[in-house]
Amino acid sequence: MSEVVSYNREGAIGVITVNYPPVNALGHAVRTGLLEALKQGQTDSDAKALLLVCDGRTFVAGADIREFGKPMQEPALGTVIDTFEDSDKPVVAAIHGTALGGGLELALGCHYRIALASAKVGLPEVKLGLLPGAGGTQRLPRLTGARKALEMITTGEFVKAEAALEAGIIDAVAQGDNIRTVGLEYAAKLVDEDKPVRRVRDINDKITADRGSEVFKEFRKGLASKARGLFSPFKCVDAVEAAFTLPFEEGKKRERELFMECMESPQRDGLVHAFFAEREVSKVPGLAKDTPVRDVASVGIIGAGTMGGGIAMNFANAGIPVTIVDVKQEALDKGLGVIRKNYENSAKKGRITPAQVEERMALITTSLSYDAFKDVDLVIEAVFENMDIKKQIFSQLDKVCKPGAILASNTSTLDIDEIASATSRPEDVVGMHFFSPANVMKLLENVRGSKTSDEVKATVMAVAKKIGKVGVMVGNCYGFVGNRMLHRRGAEATALVNEGASPQQVDKVLTDLGFPMGQFAMSDLAGIDVGYSIRKERRKAGEDIPANWMDTLAEEGRLGQKTMAGVYKYEEGNRKPVVDPKVDELIAGFRKEQGIEPRDITDQEILERCMYVMVNEGAKILEEGIAARALDIDIVWIYGYGFPAYRGGPMFWADQVGVKTIYDTVKRFHDTVGGDQWKPSALLAKLAGEDKKFGDL
C-alpha cells in the first residue's frame, strides 16, 4: 500500500485519500499511489462509487514542481488522469483549499466535482512558464467554452468555488467545512440516484459552439502587449485552440508537444527559480525558525508624503490602525486626500467596495505630535534622505515610544547604525525600505543594523507577510541591495549617453531585456532631483563623481514626470515618455562643453555595461554578506524593480549568460575604462575560475 495515497471503504463509497504534505503535489509516489488506489476501488465489489479527497490544508495543488527538469518517472500524470476518467464506477473529486494545475486537471478527469465554498481552482502553469500539460487545455474548454478557458489558462488566476460552479467547472458548492463528510454525502446521493459516469472528454456542445470563433485571435492580440516577451501564454492559446480543431486524443497530443516546448524554454527555468526563491527569502539564514515575534497591532508613520501615505495604506489594507504624523496640518490633509483618492480609484475599478474605502480610511488617523506614538508597536519614519533630520527624529522617538516598540526607517540609502546611534535602544532599530509606489510594489527590503535584535528581525519579516509584501532581509551598506546595484547601473547608463548613446537607445536595450521601463524613463518617474541630490551629497562628502548631462537636466528644472519634462517630455494625462529634441540638444551641448567626441555605441555594449556592472556589484554584495544568497538579490530585483521574472533575477540571469563570460568582460572594462565599478568582485573571479554558478553557492 502506498504511504501517501490510501484506499478505504465507507458504506458504498470507496475513498481514495491523498496525504502528501504540504500541498499534496503530484510527485512520483502520489501518481503511483493514485493508480494503485483506483485499482483497489475498481476491484472492490462493494464500492458503487469512488471519492477522491485530500488530507491536510488543500486538495492537490499541482504537479510536483521539484521534479521539473529531471527525467520523468512513469506513470505520467496524463496517464493517471486518463485512467481515472476511464473508470466505469463514477469518481467524485471533493475539493478543499486549492485545486491547482495538475490538481485541477486530475479533478477534471473525475466524473463529478464538489468543492467547499472557501475553495479555489485554477490552472496557474503559465506563471511557471508552462501550460496545463495533463489534459487541462482540452478538458476545461469542454466545460466552460473557449473564452473562460482562455482567460483562466493565459492568466493563471484562481477562481472561487461559486464562480467555478457558474462557469461549469464544478457541479456543486458545499456549505460544510469537513470535505470528507461533504464528499461522502455527495457520492452517496449519486449512488442513490444511480447517476452514470460522465466523462468530460465526451462533452462537446461548447466545443461545437465555439469552433471557428474569433476569440483566439482576440486573445493573441491582447497578449501581444500584456504578455510582451513571454513565451508560454501564446502556447496556451495554441493548446486551447487545438481542443476546437482536433479530436480529443489528438488535441491532447498537441497539448503535450506544446507543453514540452515550454518545459524546455529558459523562461520556465527562470520562473520556477523565482517561485522557489520567493518562498526561500522568508527563511533568513542565521535566524532561528522559532525566534519570538512581537505583536504589531498598531503602527505610526512619520511623513505624510507619497511614501508615508503609500506605507500607511498597506497597514490599513491589512486592518491595522495607523497614525501619520507630519509637521504641518496642510501636509497631513494633503496626504490623506491622496490616500482617499487612491482608494476611490480602486473602488472605481471594482477592486474594493465603497464600504471598504471608508473602513480603511477610518483606520488612518493623523496628528501633529509624536505623543500619538506613545502606544504604537511599530513606527516607520518616511521623511526625505537627510541624516541629521533622521537622527533628530529617532532621538525623539526614543523618548516617546514605549519599551519594545520597533523603530524603523524607510531610508533607501542611509546608514541604519548611525540612525540607531541616536537612540538608547539600537536593538529595536531596523530599516524597512518600501519601494515606490509603496502601496503597489511587493518588495520590502528589511535592513538589519549591527545591533538589531533577532526578535526585531523576525518581526519585520512577519510584518512583510502580514501586509502582503515579499520581505527580504539585507545588511547595512550604502543603498543596501537594490539601490546599490541600481546606482551602478544608473551611473553607467548616464556615462553611455555622455559618450554617444541616446537615452532612448539605452532604455530600449533594457525594455527589450524585459524591464517594464528603461533607466531614464524610471528616473523621470522617481524624479530627476532624487539622483541629483544624492550625487550632490556624495560629491560634498568627497566622492569623485564626474559631471554629467543629468545634472544639467536637474539644474534646468526638468525634474521628470512631475514637471512634465525630464529625460523625456510628457503630455497632459499621459505617462508615456516622448522623445524631446531639446534633450538631444542639451546632451550635445554638454558633450561639447566637456570636449567629448560622441561615438556609435552598440546595443551589446549597452547591455554589457548596464547589466554586468550590476552583476559585479551583486557579487560584491554577496561577498560582503549584505545579501545572504544570490536568490535574495534576485527577489529584490524582481519585486522592487520589475526585473523580468522569466529571467529569474539578475544573478540567475548571470548564470544563464555564463559567469565566466561576465567576468572576462568586467575584467576587460576594468583594464580599459577603469573605475571602482569595474573592479572585478573576488567572488565573481572565483566562480569564473572554478567554472561555477551563483546557483552553486
Which residues of the shown chain bind ligand 3HC in the complex (CB under 6 A)? Answer: 22-23, 25, 61-66, 77, 98, 100-102, 105, 124-125, 128, 130, 132-134, 136, 276, 279
Q: How far is the CB of 271 from ligand 3HC (least distance, A)?
A: 10
Q: How far is the CB of 675 from ligand 3HC (least distance, A)?
A: 40
Q: How far is the CB of 137 from ligand 3HC (least distance, A)?
A: 9
DSSP 482: H
The C-alpha atoms of residue 509 and residue 391 are separated, in whole angstroms, by: 41
Active site residue 455: no
Q: How far is the CB of 470 from ligand 3HC (least distance, A)?
A: 12
Q: How far is the CB of 80 from ligand 3HC (least distance, A)?
A: 11
The C-alpha atoms of residue 67 and residue 79 are separated, in whole angstroms, by: 17
Catalytic residue among 125, 241, 255, 381: 125
The C-alpha atoms of residue 649 and residue 60 are separated, in whole angstroms, by: 29
Other C-beta atoms closer than 10 Å to the C-beta of 190 total: 22
Active site residue 125: yes
| Closest of 248, 236, 96, 255 to residue 152, by C-alpha | 236
The C-alpha atoms of residue 269 and residue 592 are separated, in whole angstroms, by: 47
List Cα–Cα distances, 378 to 312, 428, 438, in angstroms: 12, 10, 17
Query: Measured from the CB atom, is 136 or 490 closer to ligand 3HC?
Result: 136
The C-alpha atoms of residue 481 and residue 447 are separated, in whole angstroms, by: 9
- DSSP lists the bridge partners of residue 565 as 560, 569
The C-alpha atoms of residue 554 and residue 565 are separated, in whole angstroms, by: 10
Q: How far is the CB of 135 from ligand 3HC (least distance, A)?
A: 9
Element (H, E) at 535: helix 528-540
Query: Measured from the CB atom, is 274 or 583 closer to ligand 3HC?
Result: 274
Catalytic residue among 3, 67, 105, 218: 105
The count of residues in the chain is: 697
The C-alpha atoms of residue 1 and residue 135 are separated, in whole angstroms, by: 27
DSSP letters of 245-293? HS-HHHHHHHHHHHHHHHHTSHHHHHHHHHHHHHHHTTS-TTS-TT---
| Closest of 146, 24, 135, 123 to residue 84, by C-alpha | 135
The C-alpha atoms of residue 257 and residue 632 are separated, in whole angstroms, by: 34
Q: Residue 188 in contact with residue 121, Cβ under 8 Å?
A: no
The C-alpha atoms of residue 610 and residue 468 are separated, in whole angstroms, by: 31
Q: How far is the CB of 686 from ligand 3HC (least distance, A)?
A: 29
Other C-beta atoms closer than 10 Å to the C-beta of 409 total: 26
Query: Measured from the CB atom, is 4 or 128 closer to ligand 3HC?
Result: 128
Active-site residue set: 105, 125
